Amino acid sequence: MLRPPSNQHPYNDHFSGDPAFVQPPANATKAQLEEHARKVEVARETGDWKALLIEGQQPTTFVMRPLKGNTFRNLVDDSMADKIGGAMMAQLAFRAAIESIANLGDVQIARQNDPRFGEIATVDVTDTLDAISPKIVGELGSEAVRRARTLSPKS
């Protein structure tokens, strides 16, 4: 089901490096990298990843919810006060935003209550994703923060 980006409702997102998506060649030119980045940006904006999908492949789908205002403010405050760095901010944002993951085996999302960030996924889910690629949590967490900063999906 195509679920376009939303600032009020859950939305589907994908890791741009998913093996189900066409990737730039190892020796890509600057122009090729820019074109690929543009396709990812358009896919994120529209929720339609077909332009990147390898025929017959099924990407992993991350169902995300927009960050709650208080969660976002606490993340920003902690970051600006140098209590957390960018990587931890992305990880906490991902844990606060993730609702479910489809097409990634039997990965389950357990939740815990955090006094500053509300109900968030446990660190087990990010550890599992980091074992696949450390870029997944960083990319999707950073995207959750970017969405919280803007009124529309595109900044």
pLDDT in tens, the chain (155 residues): 555 555 678 999 999 999 999 999 999 999 999 999 999 999 998 999 999 999 999 999 999 999 999 999 999 999 999 999 999 999 999 999 999 999 998 888 999 999 989 999 999 999 999 999 999 999 999 999 999 988 544 44
State the sign of the Cα–Cα–Cα–Cα dihedral 36, 42, 45, 49.
Answer: negative
Provide the whole-model pTM: 0.89
Which residues form the domain of 133?
11-20+54-149
Cα-based angle 109, 75, 70 (whole degrees, multiple of 5) = 85
Residue 34 included in any domain? no
In a domain, 4, yes or no: no
Domain count, the chain: 1
Residue 6 lies inside a defined structural domain of this protein: no
Question: Does any domain span residue 39?
Answer: no
Please give the angle made by the CA atoms of 96, 137 and 25, to the nearest 5 degrees: 150
